[in-house]
Structure 1
Amino acid sequence: MLKVTENKYFTGQTSNIFSAEVAKETRAFHQQIEGYAPTPLVSLPELAKRLGVKSILVKDESKRFGLNAFKVLGGSYALGRQLAEHLNVDISEIDLKTVSSKLEKPLVFATATAGNHGTGVAWAAREMGQKAVVYMPKGSPEASVKRIRGLGAECIVTDVNYDDTVRLASQTADENGWMLVQDTAWEGYEKIPTWISQGYMTMADEAVEQLEEQPTHVLLQAGVGAMAGGVLGYLVDKLGAESFKAIIAEPAAADCIFRSGQEGEMVNVSGDLSSIMAGLACGEPNPVTWPVLRDCSHTFTSVEDKVAATGMRILGNPLKGDEAVTSGESGAICMGLLYLLLKDDTNKASADQMGLNEDSVVLLFSTEGDTNPDRYRRIVWESEYAL
């Protein structure tokens, strides 16, 4: 149900591309978007008492721009940077509502997605008066397809897994002269994924501003590691690498970061990568953010789907006095992991090794709400994927 490995390659090395200074620019871009507001940082004091830690804080990204997920932060910032570069102006001059008037004709942005990233790109393209073509891997939920099409984008479901869908999107974009907006990187394609991960730092910058006490532990979920690496890079620069312990969580079916953490170098995972955590079902680490995860993570974990499902139920059905958080499968993995570490005696040695105790201030990011409403109800109401 749960695999844990301590990071033997920790150095605490900061990154100049994921820093507090860069985060100021990304947040300034997001702040000028109509409807911007920091998402809530929810405190769960009763759950903290139950689990034996000082406090548990959950950043609730279901409130982000009405899109039910954090991914729009990366997609919008990358589109803004691409358009700024295309127009040869500074990013500060890009206004979503007026940028289309500076172009002779709309540009086409292409991407591959498990759902939330594509939604963010589609939304940002629509807001900027541009076009989007979104590719999704086989088995993608119809709810995600409808949501993306509802934002005016073309959405194509492939018959291959996520990583092969990324390759298809890249090839098609090259053939058609479209701009690829992908949240993972490879040799020769690193600039745009870097912008996307930098965009995610807005979420972390808000959280630090909202904190009343510095966290001792930060739990971050990883697919390719774009969000985890960007957020961790910012936090290390802002708070100090030795001031908290970063714990990375992944689905067991696609635990490329976990395996990479064991080896100290990037390891790919192939196959169907089937998991209810669709947004994390990625088998190839992002080389832009991998160095941050290698250098600054304390622990890597690999968990079964039922752990994320447990996290969804805990957040959605809180103890009396705590606030409910609607968290989807990819959003709730870290809450499920925290619960398992602290309530299952078989994991006590792992919890002790991580330093989780009555003095711990734990920060988590619920990165999505109920983006697949039918499955959310089946898991939370009908106990699918029970422990």
Structure 2
Amino acid sequence: MSSFELKMVIEDNAAYAPERSDLFNRRTARAARAFHSKLPGYRPTPLLSLPALAAALGVEQILVKDESQRFGLNAFKMLGGAWAIARLLCKETGSDINEFSFAAFRQQQRVPMTFATTTDGNHGRGVAWAARQLGQHAVIYMPKGSSPARVKHITDLGAECIVTQMNYDDTVRLTMRNAEKQGWKVVQDTAWEGYSEVPTWIMQGYATLADEAVEQMQALGTSPTHVFLQAGVGAMAAGVLGYLCDVYEAASLHAVVVEPDKADCLFRSAKRGEMVNVGGEMNTIMAGLACGEPNPLGWPLLRGCARQFISCEDRVAALGMRVLGNPLGDDPRIISGESGAVSAGVLAAVLHHPQSQALKEKLRLTPASRVLLLSTEGDTDPQHYREVVWEGKDGITA
């Protein structure tokens, strides 16, 4: 097997002190899943086993949750947006969330509301989808450099999409200002002073995928020793990790947070012991993770429950895309986008690294390890996916 070295910096979490969360746990996840399960077209996304890759790495099991098959939207993000919008509408109208349905609400023919958000692609697509299902309006802002394909995914769902000349975090601030002027409802997956209820709902909605995965693992007679969670602001990572730490003994679960090195705000926060923001354009191929400011709702949970944080170069994500799309042996093929594949890329980079054994020891990967990965998106930018997988963009020798 060939040997090569990709840039991955692994930071042990000195503040590790796991506690169960009152906000992100089995109870809140299952409430969200009960809602999602009533949506037309709902079905749990597949949990796929990669035994050949596991054998090559020297671990017992690698399981991948394939979110490319979520409601035909090619990504998991609608889980948070749809749940938050439903909760928001129930609060506005005095309705019971347990009785709420998209179809029934649309039939009421209320005066449409406008939902606004900032997105790198997938979250905005989910908000646009939910707004259209409910007969509402959506205005979606995207940061500088957003791909035309991701814009089209949103406008095809009937939403207005505005690409700014700012980075992600500055675009969030612009969205807030414009929403306040226009009287729009903001559905954002990060929090700030005076804005925490909606992002809490979004994070709880994300945990539906974790509840499905646990149910699927139980059917297989297994449970994870490790989970690798890619992060932008950390909303998905915290929502899912809070749930997993409630289901399993937190001390027995080795959780690793993975970020691009151009937008590694959580990695830097772990090093310093407090929240650190990253500025600049954050030009990474992992568009869904190109966020420079940690979600203050998620950071305390990640600080307490994640064992390690990894900052890695773009070639790690590109490697993961190729490995999942061109698997070993009889392992199933998984089409995973840049942000979805980075954790698989970490495992593949460890496998090929000249100091592979030392890295496995650092990550506590042993022959008894059972690793859970989340492929959070498919080829949401099809042209870029082909550039990476077919044309060798961000290749090993680049």
1:132-183: per-residue Cα shift (whole Å, max 9, x none)?
0000001000001111000000000001000001001111100000000001
Verify: 1:348 aligned to 2:357, yes or no: yes
**SS, match of residue 227 in structure 1:** helix
Counterpart in the other structure of 1:368: 377
Verify: 1:180 aligned to 2:204, yes or no: no
Q: What is the deviation of 1:277?
A: 0.3
> Counterpart amino acid of 1:210?
Q
8 A contact 2:255–2:308 mirrored in 1: yes
- After TM superposition, list the pairs within 5 Å mapping 1:89-238 onto structure 2: 89-102=95-108, 104-211=110-217, 212=220, 213-238=222-247
8 A contact 1:134–1:154 mirrored in 2: yes
**SS, match of residue 102 in structure 2:** coil
Verify: 1:298 aligned to 2:304, yes or no: no
Q: What is the alpha-carbon distance in structure 1 between the residues aligned to residue 354 and residue 226 of structure 2? A: 20
**SS, match of residue 240 in structure 2:** helix
Q: What is the alpha-carbon distance in structure 1 between the residues aligned to residue 165 and residue 320 of structure 2? A: 30
Verify: 1:43 aligned to 2:49, yes or no: yes
Q: What is the alpha-carbon distance in structure 1 between the residues aligned to residue 12 and residue 20 of structure 2? A: 19
1:89-115: per-residue Cα shift (whole Å, max 9, x none)?
221122111213445301100000000
- After TM superposition, list the pairs within 5 Å mapping 1:269-280 onto structure 2: 269-280=278-289
Q: What is the deviation of 1:198?
A: 0.4
Verify: 1:243 aligned to 2:252, yes or no: yes
Q: What is the deviation of 1:221?
A: 0.1
8 A contact 1:100–1:106 mirrored in 2: no
Structure 2: 5+ residue stretches without partners:
1-6
TM-score after normalising by structure 1? 0.99
Q: What is the deviation of 1:23?
A: 1.0
8 A contact 1:11–1:296 mirrored in 2: yes
Quick one: percent identity of the two aligned structures?
A: 56
Number of equivalenced pairs: 387
Q: What is the alpha-carbon distance in structure 2 between the residues aligned to residue 158 and residue 78 of structure 1? A: 25
Q: What is the alpha-carbon distance in structure 2 between the residues aligned to residue 290 and residue 155 of structure 1? A: 29
Counterpart in the other structure of 1:20: 26
> Counterpart amino acid of 1:279?
G
Q: What is the alpha-carbon distance in structure 2 between the residues aligned to residue 128 and residue 308 of structure 1? A: 35
Q: What is the deviation of 1:350?
A: 3.3
1:260-312: per-residue Cα shift (whole Å, max 9, x none)?
11112110000001100000000000001111100000000000000000000
336-345 or 36-45, which deviates more = 336-345
1:230-252: per-residue Cα shift (whole Å, max 9, x none)?
00000001112112100110000
Counterpart in the other structure of 1:88: 94
> Counterpart amino acid of 1:122?
A
**SS, match of residue 254 in structure 1:** coil
> What's the Cα RMSD here?
0.9
Q: What is the deviation of 1:78?
A: 0.5
Q: What is the alpha-carbon distance in structure 1 between the residues aligned to residue 279 and residue 195 of structure 2? A: 21
> Counterpart amino acid of 2:282?
L
Q: What is the alpha-carbon distance in structure 1 between the residues aligned to residue 177 and residue 99 of structure 2? A: 31
Q: What is the alpha-carbon distance in structure 1 between the residues aligned to residue 359 and residue 55 of structure 2? A: 20
Q: What is the deviation of 1:357?
A: 1.4
8 A contact 1:217–1:245 mirrored in 2: yes
**SS, match of residue 253 in structure 1:** coil
Q: What is the alpha-carbon distance in structure 2 between the residues aligned to residue 345 and residue 43 of structure 1? A: 26
8 A contact 1:221–1:228 mirrored in 2: yes
Counterpart in the other structure of 2:37: 31
Of the three residues 374, 377, 382, the one matched with 2:386 is 377
Q: What is the alpha-carbon distance in structure 1 between the residues aligned to residue 357 and residue 108 of structure 2? A: 59
Q: What is the alpha-carbon distance in structure 2 between the residues aligned to residue 341 and residue 21 of structure 1? A: 36
> Counterpart amino acid of 2:20?
T
1:172-200: per-residue Cα shift (whole Å, max 9, x none)?
10000000000111111111111000000
Q: What is the deviation of 1:339?
A: 1.4
TM-score after normalising by structure 2? 0.96
Q: What is the deviation of 1:341?
A: 2.1
- After TM superposition, list the pairs within 5 Å mapping 1:307-326 onto structure 2: 307-326=316-335
Structure 1: 5+ residue stretches without partners:
none
**SS, match of residue 56 in structure 1:** strand
Q: What is the deviation of 1:347?
A: 4.9
8 A contact 1:51–1:343 mirrored in 2: no
Q: What is the deviation of 1:343?
A: 2.7
Q: What is the alpha-carbon distance in structure 2 between the residues aligned to residue 348 and residue 123 of structure 1? A: 45
Q: What is the alpha-carbon distance in structure 2 between the residues aligned to residue 37 and residue 110 of structure 1? A: 27
Q: What is the alpha-carbon distance in structure 2 between the residues aligned to residue 72 and residue 280 of structure 1? A: 16
**SS, match of residue 212 in structure 2:** helix
307-316 or 6-15, which deviates more = 6-15
Q: What is the alpha-carbon distance in structure 2 between the residues aligned to residue 301 and residue 345 of structure 1? A: 18
Q: What is the deviation of 1:84?
A: 0.6
8 A contact 2:56–2:351 mirrored in 1: no
**SS, match of residue 300 in structure 1:** strand
**SS, match of residue 38 in structure 1:** coil
